[in-house]
Amino acid sequence: MTKHLLKLLTAITLIAALVMGYLQMEKELQTLLEDQVPQETQFQELQLKPQILTGKNPEEDAFSGYYVLTEAKGWGGPLHIATIVDEQGVIKNILVLSHRETLSFFFRLEKKDFFQQFYGKKISDPFLPENDIDTITQATISSKAFAQAVRTGSHTLGRDIFDMQIIEEKSGWGFGRDEILLLVLLGAALAGLLWIKSRIYRYAVMLAAFIFLGFTLNSSLSIAHFGALLLGYFPSFREYPFWWILLVGAILTPLVFRRNIYCHSLCPFGNLQELNAKISGINLPLGKHISRGGRYLGYVLTWFALLVIFYKTNPALGAYEPFPTLFGLEGIEVQWFVLSATIFGSFFLSRFFCRFFCPVGVVLNLLVKIRCRLDKLLKAKTSCP
């Protein structure tokens, strides 16, 4: 009875947070813009969709530029920018009005001067990633999203205000080397879990995942992925197939094969923790009550993370995992402290973070349980872990 009541309360609170999040009125983009420009700037609206404004400094009676307010879909959901253009159609500045990107990704863009490369460009330029715009490694989706927002705003301004004939160059399919390697890695991990019962083989897959998903791409699965999916904040499959392959692959394998292959072999942070335990040779025994309490703690943290994501309609705010800090080497003091404590704990308890704190493991293991319960309802003769 108590379990059923807790499940009901969990569902009710999450639904309530989701509804309240969508009902909250977000500040108008012009209000966000006014917070970032000199207080004396006066705006006049020229166009509504996308919103185009002209700015003027009344004290100097000087035109301060065209302000184009546009939106694009980033890694964590919608982002909004203001592209500031002078009278000759040259970009002067880019202001980020709001975004839902993971902070470590956004910090990387700022650190690498990503936005500065737009300054001085003409509004008729293509603004295509890997063409005339350089993306930032380990923040590729965010890079492409901001470039798209600049492209949309600049080209609209050029056509509607400057009467330019701008031919829109569409970006191609984003499927390439990384997506092929990810599919190979998923297949290798699944084969190792279902058919190839070799410890050496599993360690080889784990090492490949650690290098590829960890330090090369910094693309570990996060609760933010699930939050973005549930909020409807997901990027285009055409432009970002990697995001879809990683998330859908992790979700489908528990539902189809009743196995959580991501946590078993692919999670770079889980693999690092297992390596630490092997190095130390210590794996402290846990009593039944501690193991059960740790499992419940993971449920509570996952519930709270989703609560924050739904209420704030921002997947990045609920992503408390230390993965981006480790593999991106970017983060604030609290994140470095959590990361250090987690790594230290993994020398004494194998997969320390996975056992007690990881929301990704909670979600994927729940999917395994859902599939097993469906099998029982259908009276299928299958084995579940």
pLDDT in tens, 253-305: 999 999 999 999 999 999 999 999 999 988 888 777 777 777 889 999 999 99
Within a domain: residue 26?
no
pLDDT category of residue 183 using cuts at 50, 70 and 90: very high
- How long, in residues, is the chain? 385
Q: Are residues 156 and 181 in the same domain?
A: no
More confident residue, 24 or 365: 365
Within a domain: residue 71?
yes
pLDDT given for residue 233 in this prediction: 86
Within a domain: residue 127?
yes
From 160, 194, 212, the end of a domain falls on: 160
Instruction: Report the candidate in 114, 105, 79, 147 with the shortest Cα–Cα distance to residue 313.
Output: 79
State how many domains the chain has: 2
Sign, Cα dihedral of 244, 249, 254, 256: positive
Q: Are residues 124 and 195 in the same domain?
A: no
Query: Which residues, at least 6 apart from 349, have a Cβ–Cβ distance to it below 8 Å?
Result: 277, 283, 284, 286, 355
Within a domain: residue 80?
yes
pLDDT given for residue 385 in this prediction: 63
pLDDT given for residue 26 in this prediction: 61
More confident residue, 199 or 25: 199
Dist CA 175 CA 159 (whole Å)? 31
Mean pLDDT calculated for residue range 225-254? 90
Within a domain: residue 337?
yes
From 112, 128, 160, the end of a domain falls on: 160
Average pLDDT, the chain: 88
Within a domain: residue 141?
yes
DSSP 8-state symbol, 133: B
Kindly tell me if the per-residue pLDDT of 93 is higher than 80: yes
Mean pLDDT calculated for residue range 30-46? 84
Q: Are residues 141 and 200 in the same domain?
A: no
pLDDT given for residue 88 in this prediction: 93
Kindly tell me if the per-residue pLDDT of 322 is higher than 70: yes
pLDDT given for residue 295 in this prediction: 80
Question: How far is CA 286 from each of CA 144, 292, 385, rounded to the nearest angstrom?
Answer: 46, 10, 20
pLDDT category of residue 171 using cuts at 50, 70 and 90: low
Which of 60-64, 325-329, 363-367 is least confident? 60-64
CATH code at position 55: 3.90.1010
Mean pLDDT calculated for residue range 153-157? 93
Q: Could you tell me the residue range of the domain that residue 52 belongs to?
A: 40-160
Kindly tell me if the per-residue pLDDT of 191 is higher than 60: yes
pLDDT given for residue 335 in this prediction: 77
Q: Are residues 257 and 216 in the same domain?
A: yes
Kindly tell me if the per-residue pLDDT of 229 is higher than 60: yes
Kindly tell me if the per-residue pLDDT of 383 is higher than 80: no
Kindly tell me if the per-residue pLDDT of 16 is higher than 70: yes
Kindly tell me if the per-residue pLDDT of 315 is higher than 80: yes
How far from chain centre, in Å, is Cα 6?
29
pLDDT given for residue 151 in this prediction: 94
Kindly tell me if the per-residue pLDDT of 149 is higher than 90: yes
pLDDT category of residue 34 using cuts at 50, 70 and 90: confident
Q: Are residues 150 and 184 in the same domain?
A: no
Within a domain: residue 227?
yes
Q: Are residues 240 and 370 in the same domain?
A: yes
Q: What is the pTM assigned to this prediction? A: 0.84
Q: Are residues 133 and 181 in the same domain?
A: no
Q: Are residues 182 and 211 in the same domain?
A: yes
From 160, 191, 211, the end of a domain falls on: 160
Q: Are residues 213 and 72 in the same domain?
A: no
Sign, Cα dihedral of 274, 205, 180, 195: negative
pLDDT given for residue 275 in this prediction: 92
Whose structure tokens read 């410890």?
Answer: 199
More confident residue, 61 or 44: 44
Q: Are residues 207 and 253 in the same domain?
A: yes
Within a domain: residue 4?
no
pLDDT given for residue 358 in this prediction: 94
Instruction: Report the candidate in 85, 88, 158, 143 with the shortest Cα–Cα distance to residue 119.
Output: 85
Q: Are residues 136 and 187 in the same domain?
A: no
Q: Are residues 191 and 141 in the same domain?
A: no
More confident residue, 368 or 3: 368
Kindly tell me if the per-residue pLDDT of 1 is higher than 60: no
